[in-house]
Chain A
Amino acid sequence: GQQLNQSPQSMFIQEGEDVSMNCTSSSIFNTWLWYKQDPGEGPVLLIALYKAGELTSNGRLTAQFGITRKDSFLNISASIPSDVGIYFCAGPPVAGNNRKLIWGLGTSLAVNP
């Protein structure tokens, strides 16, 4: 099925470093969602973006809805150990059933204290 392309696939960083990850698609989206999955838990919504060009922050996290509507970016500043987990991007397709989200495969983040 259709998927979003997330990169990088995994990251291993030092505590205090900034992190950037992105999500791209060959088709446009009207909504971009960023989820985080802690080890052993279900994904939790971090940030939702609804407008092209939109820049939204949630604490140390900042996400942007790309102007082309085909990409989105998530940045984490000053990483801490609890940032460890898998970060997923997702969105409902513009064409087709918007009740069925399209998902990226995730970016796995490890933070070395």
Chain B
Amino acid sequence: NAGVTQTPKFQVLKTGQSMTLQCAQDMNHNSMYWYRQDPGMGLRLIYYSASEGTTDKGEVPNGYNVSRLNKREFSLRLESAAPSQTSVYFCASLTGTGNTGELFFGEGSRLTVL
């Protein structure tokens, strides 16, 4: 019963390098999300995908791109990493319809940009 799986769990990058965070869910959910978590800032939405084939910006999209590869997979790409992108990144998928909004989260990907 995997739920939401994120890879990698840890990554260190140099400024300017690129990388992709992978996320997959096996719960047949339509909506998927990428959040970042920084101390004292709570969870901030980067991008989300309401359904396969659609993506929308969240609160802090600058410096990121996403791809909803299929219903299961939603990836987050940093094209040119900056130290300000050092953070813990969480992928989540949404169950329910309407106002239920029950998110299931992955374990997080801890990214450090030097």
Residue positions of A touching B, CB distance < 8 A: 1, 3, 30-31, 33, 35, 40-45, 48, 50, 88, 90-92, 98-101, 103-106
Q: How far is the CA of A92 from the CA of B99 in the complex (A)?
A: 6
Chain B interface residue number, banded? 20 to 34
Chain B residues closer than 8 Å to A100, beta-carbon distance: 45, 48, 58
Enumerate B36-82 residues with CB–CB distance to A below 8 Å.
40-45, 48, 50, 58-59
Q: Is the CB of A101 within 8 A of B99?
A: no
Tally of A-B Cβ pairs under 8 angstroms: 62
Is B34's beta carbon under 8 Å from chain A?
A: no
Jot down 15 A-B pairs with beta carbons below 8 A, ordered by A. Answer: A31-B101, A40-B107, A40-B108, A41-B107, A42-B4, A42-B90, A42-B92, A43-B90, A44-B105, A98-B99, A99-B50, A99-B94, A100-B58, A101-B101, A105-B40
Residue in A1, A98, A104 whose beta carbon sits within 8 Å of that of B98 in the complex: A98
Q: Mark B88-107, 1 if CB is under 8 A from A, else 0.
A: 00101010001111111111
Residue among A41, A90, A99 having the largest count of chain B Cβ atoms under 10 Å: A99
Given contacts A42-B90, A100-B58, A103-B43, contact A92 B105 (CB under 8 A): no
> Do B101 and A1 touch (CB < 8 A)?
no
Q: Is residue B31 within 8 Å, beta carbon to beta carbon, of the partner chain?
A: yes
Min C-beta distance of A37 to chain B, whole Å:
8
Residues in chain B within 8 A of chain A (CB atoms): 4, 31, 40-45, 48, 50, 58-59, 90, 92, 94, 98-108
Q: Are B98 and A48 in contact (CB under 8 A)?
A: no
Q: A42: nearest residue on chain B (CB-CB)? A: B105
Pair B40/A42 contact, Cβ less than 8 Å: no
**Chain A's nearest CB lies how many Å from the CB of B109?**
10
* Bound: A51/B44 CA distance, A: 26
Q: In the complex where A48-B100, A91-B101 touch, is A42 in contact with B106 (Cβ < 8 A)?
A: yes
Alpha-carbon distance between A13 and B1 when the two chains are bound, in angstroms: 35
Q: Would you list the 7 A-B pairs with minimal beta carbon distance, nearest first?
A: A42-B105, A105-B42, A92-B101, A31-B99, A1-B59, A30-B99, A103-B43
A12 to B43, CA, bound (A): 22
CB pair A105 B41 closer than 8 Å: yes
